Amino acid sequence: MSNISLFGDSENYVSFATGQLIFEQGQSGKFMFVIKEGAVEMQIKGKAISTLGVGESFGEVSLIIDSPRSATAIAKTDCKLVMIDQKYFDFLVQNTPDFANNIMQIVTHRLLKADERA
C-alpha cells in the first residue's frame, strides 16, 4: 500500500537522521508523513511493531480523528519524509478517491494487525 505515486516527486520534504525521533506516542499530531526515502520504525511503549519503507505513510490516524499519536516514530535510516497537514489531507481525501481508499486500507490493515498482537 503506497502513496508514493502522489508524493514521489515532491520537493517539500523534511529530513531525519538515523535514530532521530520523528514523533512520540501520546503527542498531539498535526501532520501525517509519506516516506520519500529511507525507513521508519514504529514503536508502541518502546517495543518495535513495524518498519515502514519508501511510499508508505504513517501518522494519518491523528488527522482522521484528531487524537494523540498512538505510536512513536523513529528514523531507522536517514530519511526524507513528505509532511501532510490537516488542510492538505482533507483536500486529498475529497479530491483524490485513490488516496482516500488507500488511507482506509492502511488504517484497516494496521487495526487488524493490532488485533492479532493482542
Output the pLDDT for position 111: 81
Q: Which of 5-9, 89-93, 108-112 has the lowest mean pLDDT?
A: 5-9
Confidence of residue 9 (pLDDT cuts 50, 70, 90): low
Per residue in 52-104, pLDDT (tens digit) is 999 899 999 999 988 899 999 999 999 999 999 999 999 999 998 888 888 88
SS3 call for 16: strand
Residues 6+ apart with CB under 8 A from 41: 48, 50, 51, 52, 73, 74, 75, 76
Per residue in 90-105, pLDDT (tens digit) is 999 999 888 888 888 8
* DSSP states along 35-79: EEES-EEEEETTEEEEEE-TT-EE-HHHHHH----SSEEEESSSE
